[in-house]
Structure 1
Amino acid sequence: MSVIQPFEKPLGMRDTLPKLYTHHQTLRTKAMSYITKNGYEFIQTPSLEYFETIGKISALDEAALFKLVDNQGEMLVLRPDLTTPIARVAAAKLLKEKNPLRLAYNSTVFRAQQREGGRPAEFEQLGLELLGDTSALADSEILRLAAGLLRELGLEDFTITIGHAGLINQALETLIPSAEEQQRVREFLVEKNFVSIDRWAADYKQSNPFYAFFQEAIGGTSLKDLLQAFPELATNETKQFVSVIETIETLPELQNVFQVDPLVVSHMHYYTGMVFEVYGAGSGFPLGNGGRYDDLLKQFGTEVGATGFSIRIDHLLEILPTSTEPVTRRLLYTTQSMYAKALDLAAEYKQQGEFVTIQLKQAVQDTESFEKNFDQVTDLTEGEL
């Protein structure tokens, strides 16, 4: 076991340095304003939850959970997602007071990494949850707000890829007779490993029905035509999915930014209806995802429909255009005796929109290096005003 050095951090953890923190804060402010204007209320859940509730219900593999034991001997987890804790508090209290319920969050989640691969174990998610509405309009609202929020935050070049968990589940279970083979293909779809599906079809004798569906879907067959070609996949849920698509085709916010892909499969297993992923030009990772999860609240004794989405703040910040708003950062050198004067002068600069740092000059060891962090330097110690 290696010795931990003082400057080391746990696997997957990151420091947020001042410039990036400022970008985070600017984004949060814009997002909160947009979200609250659209009728959603922000909520904060605890970082620690019980393993018996949130840990077991979470859609993530247990190996991805950070576990610890409290002084009562209860197993706890650091929250691995936000949707499940929000479902808990909504079922316990909020839905009894307001239904449908619109909630929002901006919090960190924690997912353990098994090896260093550049992936964070702690990251920030921003999202919405619409609870208590099973209609196609609720799904359309979530998609509309996802697109609107991204534009509000400065992103224009993005795509929302929409699928349906019920449709793909029905295809796997109806067209593949073996449960083991169903799971294999599901994992290939989650990974978007279509080459392995081709190989699987060549090796598995009973692959023809699903492989025909796969080829039609990957070839761009429309949803209606796909359901006509495979009538055994037409259920009430998939018919509602057609209604969702017909609705969003009329929404200006979603024109030219969405596409239907029946092969979208989320690694979060609680989705039951529409699912979607958000991709942005310049990012190698999905910016966010969401969908309908009508069965999740049953785990907390409440049976209501639910849909929502979340955005990965770290992935989004990597591709957002840098702010072009000019900000002057001024350094104001002072002495102890001139401190009151420095405060008055700093107030004047702040009135003009500048960011001002007042610094006792004799405390700076390397003035040349220090001054490189500022746009303007005013030195009261030399009588400059």
Structure 2
Amino acid sequence: MVQLKNLLPEGVETLYGDEYAFKDEILNNVKNTFRSYGYRQILTPTFEYFDMYKEMFGGINFRQMLKFISPQGDVMVLRPDATIPVARMAAKNTRDKDEYLKFFYTAPIFRQLEAQKGDEREFLQAGVEYFANPNPECDAEIIAIGIKTLLDNGIEDFRIDLGQVGYLGSLLEEAEPDQQVRKQIIQLIESKNQGDLRSYLDQRSMDDRYKELILNVVTMYGNPQEVLPLAQTCAINDGMKKAIDNCEEVVRILEDYGYGKYIIFDLGFTNPLNYYTGIIFKGYADNFGKAIMQGGRYDQLTMNFGIYKPACGFGININYLVEIVSLIKAKDTVICYTDYLILYEKISRKQAITIAEKLRKQGYIVETNELTDINRQAYLAKQRNIRDILVVEKNELNVIEVIQNGVTNDIKEILNRG
């Protein structure tokens, strides 16, 4: 019989030493990028009442939620989405409906994905959310932050796929009154299977003009300078025209940032988190098959909490980001290290502790231990990436260099500075 105590659940990870430090370094880079645009860090609960998501318009598929029962008998859910609780915070903690808010977060996300083995049930996500700004400048800033986040972590070969919920939505609202049929059409468009889409449309008593326009949406993918003029000529109502006008303005602003070269338009993609109402986007790194980031505009979400605050934001999967960056950076990069290991005889312990504190005050990483077997301790120090050993015995201080190009051997000069 398999002993579960010795196994990790599927879809989770453990990290140690250099692996954790590598991930932490990347996460700090991401947070610094977010802060540089004026976003302020927040924290939301790890678990919520299931009712919040059950009653939420455009929320998460219930089957993807990891649920449990509280001691009081309430159905709870581990955080399956970061945007919804952040939207609640924006709605509940605002003094003025027009007050703009710029939040960022880092949080574990939990989902019970139905796909194959190997999917993540828990992953770290970081994201930004900008509330009370309905303008394309806000949309462009959010996308620009996503691009800057990738660049700041050394990723240069990537693309951002942009779509617009309002374009396809306005077309389908005019062409098809049945909401379930519209939902099925969207799923077929998302799959990019024109044959299945055409077969399904042929079964509907829909005007042929609408059928051709819907089929055209699948092909609206590529350079903005080519896709947007085509989409504009196919726009048959004000909603579609307004959506393309918005896209064109967002692209112009992104070009002002110098980021136009990263943009690809795909008017046929949607997002399963269907609270989005305008611009939507996904980010893909070259030679990595999954979307590393996704987001968009969601103007109605805060209405679930009693206030209207149009908003735009995105989330980036930090686990994926780490995986991509690890392919770019040298494999032998040492992240975890110790500057000094101080070994001491018992009679010299107080002196060793005093030396260690002086070094720590100057920013050095210092470990202390009793001197036992210097050869064995030097070997273990090398395994831990310790750069120098200081030996304190009989009130004398000696230095053993463990790793080539260690910190320094002039320890007395350093201690005099302290």
CA positional deviation for 1:55: 4.7
Q: Which residue of 2 aligns with 1:160?
A: 160
Secondary structure (helix, strand or coil) at the match of 1:128 reads strand
- Equivalent AA in structure 2 for residue 33 of structure 1: N
| One of 310, 317, 323 as aligned partner of 1:318 | 323
- Equivalent AA in structure 2 for residue 249 of structure 1: E
Question: Separation in 1 of the partners of 2:373 and 2:12?
Answer: 33
Question: Separation in 2 of the partners of 1:32 and 1:203?
Answer: 46
Question: Separation in 2 of the partners of 1:356 and 1:148?
Answer: 35
Question: Separation in 2 of the partners of 1:318 and 1:262?
Answer: 29
Q: Which residue of 2 aligns with 1:244?
A: 250
Q: Which residue of 2 aligns with 1:6?
A: 5
CA positional deviation for 1:197: 3.2
Q: Which residue of 2 aligns with 1:46?
A: 45
Secondary structure (helix, strand or coil) at the match of 2:5 reads coil
Q: TM-score, normalised by structure 1?
A: 0.85
| One of 179, 199, 214 as aligned partner of 2:217 | 214
Secondary structure (helix, strand or coil) at the match of 1:6 reads helix
- Equivalent AA in structure 2 for residue 197 of structure 1: Q
Q: Which residue of 2 aligns with 1:234?
A: 240
RMSD: 3.2
Equivalent residues of 1:129, 1:309 under 8 A apart: yes
Secondary structure (helix, strand or coil) at the match of 1:249 reads helix
Question: Separation in 2 of the partners of 1:142 and 1:362?
Answer: 57
Instruction: Verify: 1:104 aligned to 2:104, yes or no.
Output: yes
Equivalent residues of 2:302, 2:308 under 8 A apart: yes
CA positional deviation for 1:342: 3.9
- Equivalent AA in structure 2 for residue 74 of structure 1: D
Question: Separation in 2 of the partners of 1:5 and 1:267?
Answer: 34
Give ranges in structure 2 of 5+ residues lacking alignment: 400-418
Deviates more, 1:280-289 or 1:369-378: 369-378
Q: Which residue of 2 aligns with 1:88?
A: 88
CA positional deviation for 1:161: 1.1
Give ranges in structure 1 of 5+ residues lacking alignment: none
Deviates more, 1:11-20 or 1:155-164: 11-20
Equivalent residues of 2:336, 2:385 under 8 A apart: no
| One of 360, 385, 389 as aligned partner of 1:374 | 385
Secondary structure (helix, strand or coil) at the match of 1:310 reads strand
CA positional deviation for 1:264: 2.1
Q: Which residue of 2 aligns with 1:26?
A: 25
Instruction: Verify: 1:308 aligned to 2:324, yes or no.
Output: no
Deviates more, 1:233-242 or 1:96-105: 233-242
Number of residue pairs the alignment of both structures matches: 380
Deviates more, 1:310-319 or 1:374-383: 374-383
CA positional deviation for 1:90: 0.9
Q: Which residue of 1 aligns with 2:274?
A: 269
- Equivalent AA in structure 1 for residue 240 of structure 2: A
Equivalent residues of 2:41, 2:103 under 8 A apart: yes
Q: Which residue of 2 aligns with 1:295?
A: 300
Equivalent residues of 2:282, 2:294 under 8 A apart: yes
CA positional deviation for 1:378: 2.6
Q: TM-score, normalised by structure 2?
A: 0.79
Percent of matched pairs sharing the same residue: 23
Instruction: Describe the shift of the 1:178–1:326 C-alpha distance in structure 2 as closer, same or farther (beyond 3 A).
Output: closer
Secondary structure (helix, strand or coil) at the match of 1:30 reads helix
Secondary structure (helix, strand or coil) at the match of 2:11 reads coil
CA positional deviation for 1:295: 1.1
- Equivalent AA in structure 1 for residue 367 of structure 2: T
Equivalent residues of 1:11, 1:113 under 8 A apart: no
